[in-house]
Chain A
């Protein structure tokens, strides 16, 4: 029986993407939903998340030659998305300074909305580690690779992020 290996499939698609547009579109289909969820968490709304997602895949297409196979395709694409989301937040802060109260205003009695609002009130670093761990189920090593920081930093950052989020959501937690 032939073993199905998603990572090998990703690498094969990536290898063919330079000369075969269909291969790259197949790669988009395989990762779009996962990356979109992460983008929504990182930027806080669906419309901007879509823009960030588009920029991620365009960046990936333009940087096809830069993929050296040292990390998985999933990690590589996630790293591009995290970079694009950080750039988006930076540009947005420059054009219209972020108001910390915006997220609070958006909060509603609905727990889901409150969680999203609370996530947006975290610092970018804390939001990143929480999203990678809780949504992507990434290991500490993978997160360290995506964020370009040592494993120990990931561990301490994740601990602080959880403490901060717990403080904001304490009314919902046991």
Chain B
């Protein structure tokens, strides 16, 4: 038959019991060969695992580790630089497009013919000369018409 204390032995061994329960088991152990043997097995297994875990990272291994960490740091920096470069390139392209567009609009504006100050007068006039598009033509026709009137 298993001792009722047995189920708490691992927690006892791992130092996970409260003070009261711990003292209880400490008092029980000298009187229970089964629990004492179980505790002995736990200790023996820990000892074996401790000896198996006595491995050490070599100096070369540590050097490689630091090197790899440095690489990762540089990669991180490079990534930031790349992102910043991409943002800068986008701003540059958008700025250039905006500048080109503004320039084109201004060129079109400058190329458009500006109406002379007398254009409104000519177009508003009721005289037959008003039908002609240029003031020079209107003047010529007016003179020509006067000449015709003067002639006998």
Interchain CB contact (< 8 A) of A32 among B41, B50, B53, B65: B65
Contact A57 B55 (CB under 8 A): no
Contact B46 A134 (CB under 8 A): yes
Asked whether B136 is an interface residue with its Cβ less than 8 Å from the other chain, the reply is no
Number of interface residues of A (CB under 8 A): 40
Interchain CB contact (< 8 A) of A28 among B15, B42, B56, B69: B69
Contact B45 A21 (CB under 8 A): no
Contact string against B for A residues 129-149, beta-carbon threshold 8 Å, 1 for contact and 0 otherwise = 010011100011000000000
Nearest A-chain residue to B37, judged by Cβ: A174
List A residues 142-174 near B (Cβ within 8 Å): 155, 158-159, 162, 165-166, 169, 172-174
List, in ascending order, chain B residues with CB within 8 A of A53's CB: 57, 65
Asked whether B40 is an interface residue with its Cβ less than 8 Å from the other chain, the reply is yes
Asked whether B142 is an interface residue with its Cβ less than 8 Å from the other chain, the reply is no
Number of interface residues of B (CB under 8 A): 32
Contact B72 A111 (CB under 8 A): no
Contact B41 A119 (CB under 8 A): no
List, in ascending order, chain A residues with CB within 8 A of B48's CB: 111-112, 115, 169, 172-173
Contact A165 B45 (CB under 8 A): yes
List A residues 13-41 near B (Cβ within 8 Å): 21, 24-25, 28-29, 32-33, 36-37, 40-41
Contact B57 A33 (CB under 8 A): yes
Nearest CB on B from A167, distance (A): 11
Contact B69 A40 (CB under 8 A): no
List, in ascending order, chain B residues with CB within 8 A of A111's CB: 48, 51
Q: Which residues of A are in contact with B by a Cβ distance under 8 Å?
A: 21, 24-25, 28-29, 32-33, 36-37, 40-41, 46, 50, 53-54, 57-58, 61-62, 111-112, 115-116, 119, 130, 133-135, 139-140, 155, 158-159, 162, 165-166, 169, 172-174
11 contacts between A and B (CB under 8 A): A28-B66, A36-B56, A54-B64, A62-B72, A112-B52, A115-B51, A115-B52, A134-B50, A140-B14, A158-B10, A166-B41
